[in-house]
Amino acid sequence: MRPLTLSPNSVNLPASSSGAHSGAPVGIFDSGLGGLSVLRAVRALLPAERLVYVADSRYAPYGQRDDDFIADRTLAIGEWLVAQGAKALVVACNTATAQSIALVRERLSIPLVGVEPGIKPAALASKTRVAGVLATQVTLRSARFQALVERHAADLRVLCQPGHGLVEAVERCDVNSPELLALLRAYVEPMLEAGADTLVLGCTHYPFLDAAIRSIVGERMALIDTSVAIARQLERVLEQHGLRADGGNAGAGPDDIRFCSTSDGAHLRELAAALLGLDAEVERVAIPSRRTRELEANAA
């Protein structure tokens, strides 16, 4: 199966307008740990690139937040990454992309890459013409998602299932507990019964549940994960803007990836070790925004 992404989101400003240069890092952001699945693919395809990863774990999951909150956080973190010198931004979160990519694209002066559920590859892969989509409620109810289905899957029966509880499980580094397996079973078994042969992992946290899902569906479903396609899209965008890091570099080592979290970062460190084999120092960062200031004022 060939994973494809559907979200080539680059701004039209030339790279020079932001002062970005090829040696600068790429910013990658998610509500939490899910974007590490994208970081893994970026690192494999573009090993010379320096990376700054931000997990907004203090405010995850976004899937239950209101639209304004998600846009507020995405913009604040994008601006923070620009201030850290990022030359491009990967919004490695389907929920944030669905909700706020247009706004962020208007406001930031660096190229952007967003992510969207792999509806197009699912439409190409499904033989039964029935596909399941697991994503957050916010993603599934977004106009972007509806448009994606209309554009690419008019002849496909698409079974949408909000993955309540799954982001929280991954944030706890739970990828195989009996409770999690029971939750996954409740989500995917009805899809199998309805004849689905393809399952779109429409949230960047879900690739970490790949083995757990596989243990339930066996070979009866193809799992669609777009992280490799997102890395390819980033490569194209960097090339278009003349921002690819010098290929002569031997490859980014652990020191060339900066891991930041708005929470204590322990789980980010644990997952980076398990997934990327990196014993990463995680910086705790404060990225205040209008909505988090309000939250904190109300809590005081």
28 binds ligand DGL (CB under 6 A): no
Q: Which of 93, 160, 173, 260 is catalytic?
A: 93
Distance of closest approach, residue 59 Cβ to ligand DGL, in angstroms: 8
Q: Is 31 annotated as a binding residue?
A: yes
SS3 content of the chain, % helix, strand, coil (to 5): 50, 15, 35
Q: Is 264 annotated as a binding residue?
A: no
Subset of 168-207 contacting ligand DGL (CB under 6 A) = 203-205
Distance of closest approach, residue 267 Cβ to ligand DGL, in angstroms: 13
Of 39-47, 57-65, 152-160, 257-265, which part binds ligand DGL (CB under 6 A)?
A: 57-65
Q: Are 275 and 281 in contact (CB under 8 A)?
A: no
Q: Are 136 and 162 in contact (CB under 8 A)?
A: yes
Of 87-95, 122-130, 237-245, 287-295, which part binds ligand DGL (CB under 6 A)?
A: 87-95
Q: What are the counts of helices (DSSP H) followed by strands (DSSP E) for the chain?
A: 12, 10
Which residue from 61, 78, 114, 265 is in contact with ligand DGL, where contact means CB under 6 A?
Answer: 61
Which residue from 99, 136, 198, 261 is in contact with ligand DGL, where contact means CB under 6 A?
Answer: 136
DSSP-based three-state secondary structure for 259: strand
Q: Are 208 and 34 in contact (CB under 8 A)?
A: yes
* Token pair in block for residue 90: 């990967």
Active site residue 203: yes
* Residue indicated by tokens 């990519």: 101
Q: Is 62 annotated as a binding residue?
A: yes
C-alpha dihedral sign at 233, 211, 180, 122 = positive
Which residue from 15, 28, 38, 62 is in contact with ligand DGL, where contact means CB under 6 A?
Answer: 62
Task: For residues 287 and 294, give the distance between their C-alpha atoms in angstroms, rounded to a whole number.
Answer: 13
Instruction: Write out the catalytic residue numbers.
Output: 93, 203
Give residues in contact with ligand DGL (CB under 6 A).
Answer: 30-32, 34, 60-63, 93-95, 136, 139, 167, 203-205
